[in-house]
Chain A
Amino acid sequence: MKVYHSFQEIQLDLNTGKVSCKELVSHYLDNIENNKHLNVFVEVYKAEALQQAELIDAKIKSGKAGKLAGMVIGLKDVLCHKGHGLQASSKILDKFISQFNGTAVQRILDEDAIVIGRQSCDEFAMGSSNENSAFGPVLNAADNTRVPGGSSGASAVAVQADLCLASLGSDTGGSVRQPAAFCGTVGLKPSYSRISRYGLISYASSFDCIGILSKNVEDAALLLEIIAGTDEYDSTVSNKPVPAYSQLLKFDGKARIGYLKESVESPGVNGEIKDATKGLISALQKDGHTVEAFEFNLLDYILPAYYILTTAEASSNLGRYDGVKYGYRSTNITDLESMYKKTRSEGFGKEVKKRIMLGTFVLSASYYDAYYTKAQKVRRLIKEQTEKLFEKYDFILMPTTTTTAFKLGEHSNDPLSMYLADLFTVQANLCGIPGISLPYGKDKEGMPIGIQLLSKSFDESRLLAFSQHIFKNLN
């Protein structure tokens, strides 16, 4: 079977009978089987996906199929899918079976998407390389000695290696955009609260966002319009109407774009990535858009503020894993306290424990104001200064990452060097604004380069339309 690069292509062939859902599912199942070494899927729902495909083929014939009929999707191991395993790639949720569907999952199922399996990730979405999974590292399909990025690394590889058409992941500090850049896919993180978080395993609740990994901008737009919007199970979700993003992908007129000066000048950014960014800047200028550099003097404070706040929220959110209600319980216990301690110490991996410790520390009585409150104040400064930029610019442009995909184990010994992998992506999460990573060429070793575009909150329509313009016409 041919490799499909867009859902539109699939729909065309489904409607003319050139392909069936069953053939599509079989194609992806074969690819999954042939790419087992990439270690993408924790579980593959072979029989169920094939059965679902037959049902949807019948629906297509009778003209009753939903908007996503023919779309085969993978789910990051943080999204509740009723009757299926879910464990945030952690031992502490060993044998956990979801008892309900999260809202985003329910909405794609209602539109006849087929879920082919659940994908590994960094444990509890904490990591930038997918090396922190209880199921072992996931490999980048472009070079098996390199990481796919993280935390939604496997979800990006699945799209990169054609193991499904699209994946739903989550993005707390870049976990969709950074692996998208490392694997050469599109990665969309919408505005905070655009998509209900009901049924998304919590990491840092004021940052967490469900995101989309896809082969192109249209598919991301279509998925977003289906999963976004008001939901009675999440009181923080936005009640703003959801535009028909997939119908609004034409960008008219000229944009005002600001690019982060440091991102094309700093010696900390890989030369080929700087060149690709400069290449896009001149292509945009030739295309008639206004593009100018800006300096962001709070850049150095973004990551420390992010790590204080996310570890604090994580230490609180992960308090629920106590060996009582679900998941793993240590057998090596004498009383209630030892049950908690042994269960958590044996169940959580090293990075998760470290972040719980840091979060507990910054929330502890003696240090709360010095770290936690301070970081909340800095978050406001960063948000306000970012919003000011959008008075001048329609979009902000910078590379998604400072390097292309790094080697497995390259950052394992230095916690700070791994954290720096998220330098350009966390700003969007600190401010709650949408961001997208678009594939933009490759380095000389063949590794994909990603360019990131940011817009003001709830401006996804224009962000997606402009992304589509770059993706189609300037790439």
Chain B
Amino acid sequence: MNIDQETIRKIAHLARLEFSEAEATAVGNDFNKILSWMDKLNELNTDNVAPLIHMSEEVNVLREDEVKVTISHEEALYNAPKKDSDYFRVPKFLS
């Protein structure tokens, strides 16, 4: 596997991250080392193996749907970097 800078830029956008050119080159180099190491899994035949998705043995754990306040409005807003009395505030994104 050889990852080019174009792919690094695409993945960075998907992850909502930005890298300087030097950082992107370093990430690319690490990627190539790590991915060729990960490619080792291709040595194993897994044709008839189902992917293992859930690790917990519990199935359909349900509880009564009771209305209760677990966290108040003020507590929910407490850690917001920008807020007013009711809402989280973000830069305007509809024009």
Residues of A within 8 A of B (CB): 95-97, 99-100, 192-193, 206-207, 232, 235-239, 298, 300-301, 304-305, 307-308, 315, 322-329, 333-337, 339-342, 344-345, 348, 353-354, 356-358, 360-362, 364, 371, 373-381, 383, 415-416, 432
Contacts and interface: CB of A to CB of B under 8 A. Distances in A.
B50 A380 contact: yes
A341 B15 CA distance: 8
B81 A375 contact: no
A342 B76 CA distance: 24
Nearest to A431: B55
A336 B81 contact: no
A432 B71 contact: no
Contacts of B42: 374
Contact of A357 (B15, B71, B79, B88): B15
Interface of A is mostly: helix
Contacts of A375: 38, 41
A161 B53 CA distance: 40
Nearest to B62: A235
A326 B61 CA distance: 30
Contacts of B7: 361
12 contacts: A300-B40, A304-B41, A325-B80, A340-B16, A345-B18, A356-B15, A357-B8, A361-B11, A364-B11, A373-B51, A381-B44, A381-B46
A343 to B, nearest CB: 9
Contact of B52 (A315, A339, A356, A377): A377
B80 A360 contact: no
A334 B91 contact: yes
B82 A329 contact: yes
B31 to A, nearest CB: 7
B19 A345 contact: yes
A38 to B, nearest CB: 29
Interface in B10-30: 11-12, 14-19, 27, 30
Contacts of B18: 341-342, 345
B51 A357 contact: no
Judged by DSSP, the binding face of B is loop
A95 B79 CA distance: 8
A315 B56 CA distance: 21
A236 B33 contact: no
A378 B44 contact: yes
A379 B37 CA distance: 16
Nearest to B70: A100
Identify which of A95, A232, A353 gathers the most chain B CB atoms within 10 Å of its CB.
Answer: A353
Contact of A307 (B8, B34, B55, B58): B34
Contacts of A96: 79
B11 A339 contact: no
Nearest to A366: B7
A375 B44 CA distance: 10
A337 B92 CA distance: 11
B48 to A, nearest CB: 9
B51 A341 contact: no
Given A325-B88, A327-B79, A360 B61 contact: no
B88 A324 contact: yes
A361 B90 contact: no
B17 A304 contact: no
Contacts of A315: 15
Interface in B53-94: 53-58, 61, 63, 70-71, 75-76, 78-82, 88, 90-93
